[in-house]
């Protein structure tokens, strides 16, 4: 941990993040809702927007790189 505190992942936070992200069905990359294509594989079709799928991908990323959930106290 960089700063010793974890960001509190509340249901409200999950809904907010799930509403702003989508998952590429080809490569599994998290992409912003505003993006028209996947920046990893260039997919331009339909994206996965189910909050459970987006949340699962976020949990996978947080487990792989827990430093992303640290909060800077300054």
The alpha carbon torsion through 72, 50, 32, 68 (nearest 10 deg) reads 20
Please give the average per-residue pLDDT across 6-17, as a whole number: 64
pLDDT at position 55 is 80
pLDDT at position 47 is 96
pLDDT at position 3 is 39
CB neighbour list of residue 56: distance below 8 Å, 6 or more residues apart:
none
List the alpha helices (DSSP H) in the chain: 11-20, 51-64
Mean pLDDT, the chain, integer: 79
Task: Say yes or no to pLDDT of 2 above 50.
Answer: no
- Selection from 5-14, 22-31, 46-55 with the highest mean pLDDT: 22-31
Q: Counting beta carbons within 10 angstroms of the beta carbon of residue 63, is it exposed (0 to 12), middle (13 to 18) or buried (19 or more)?
A: exposed
């Amino acid at each position: 941990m960089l700063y010793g505190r974890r960001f509190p992942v509340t249901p409200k936070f999950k809904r907010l993040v799930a509403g702003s992200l989508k998952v590429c069905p080809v490569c599994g990359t998290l992409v912003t809702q505003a993006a028209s294509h996947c920046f990893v594989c260039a997919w331009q079709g339909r994206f996965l927007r189910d909050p459970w799928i987006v949340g699962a991908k976020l949990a996978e990323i947080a487990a792989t790189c827990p430093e992303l959930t640290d909060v800077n106290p300054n």
